[in-house]
Amino acid sequence: QSVLTQPPSVSAAPGQKVTISCSGSSSNIGNDYVSWYQQLPGTAPKLLIYDTDKRPSGIPDRFSGSKSGTSATLGITGLQTGDEADYYCGTWDSSLNTVVFGGGSKLTVL
Amino acid sequence: QLQLQESGPGLVKPSETLSLTCTVSGGSISSSSYYWGWIRQPPGKGLEWIGSIYYSGTTSYNPSLKSRVTISVDTSKNQFSLKLSSVTAADTAMYYCARHVARIEVNWFDPWGQGTLVTVSS
């Protein structure tokens, strides 16, 4: 059971928008920046969003991040079949003194 | 660009020590801005941070694994290593190394190595 809670699965049609939530507490998301990772099937995770809402070079602006209180959200617009992947949120937990990740959300583009 | 590559045995016997090395290329492990971390992912499950090390040797470990984990760095070889002792089947996982940005309120990993699968079995 992960410290950060994500929906196990989300789905949407090509071209549509989807959001993936990541719920935590005051000792993690409420106090620290959040990162998001995309893991395509059979590959290593790839940084998608850092510092809650910043995109690394090369990540299209279809991907966005935000935070409100103790929850963070990853948004993906203009969905493509190539976006089908597992998505993970991550941050530091000051009570546990460890990096924590969400359990992951599997995105299906119908 | 910066690349990381894990190496080590793919099969470890129960109760023995798992040893992996991460070789960094395209940049110096001695950069003052970064830690270097290990993350694992059991088959079909989520990500778990194991620990990270600074080039000076300063370490930070996941408390749940701390008693069994040692991470070390060899700046002359641009490598850092993981040792996990007394392994059980629960330690079977894909092990990734990654550059770790760790500052106050900030933690993220980029880039990641391709990962290496370690199976614990007799």
Residues of chain B contacting A96 with CB distance shorter than 8 Å: 63
Q: What is the pLDDT of residue A78?
A: 97
Residues of chain A contacting B36 with CB distance shorter than 8 Å: none
CB within 8 Å: B106 and A51: yes
Residues 6 or more apart in contact with residue B58 via CB below 8 angstroms = none
Q: What is the C-alpha to C-alpha distance for residues B72 and B54, in angstroms, rounded to an integer? A: 9
The pLDDT of A9-14, averaged and rounded, is: 97
Q: What is the C-alpha to C-alpha distance for residues A47 and A41, in angstroms, rounded to an integer? A: 15
Cβ pairs bridging A and B (under 8 Å): 68
Q: What is the pLDDT of residue B31?
A: 85
Q: What is the pLDDT of residue B105?
A: 85
Q: What is the C-alpha to C-alpha distance for residues A36 and A46, in angstroms, rounded to an integer? A: 8
Q: Strand B48-54 to strand B106-112: parallel, antiparallel, or no bridges (unpaired)? A: unpaired
The pLDDT of A48-55, averaged and rounded, is: 97
The pLDDT of A19-30, averaged and rounded, is: 97
pLDDT at B118 > cutoff 90: yes
Q: What is the C-alpha to C-alpha distance for residues B2 and B65, in angstroms, rounded to an integer? A: 28
Give tens-digit pLDDT for B7-64. Answer: 999 999 999 999 999 999 999 999 888 999 999 999 999 999 999 999 999 999 999 9
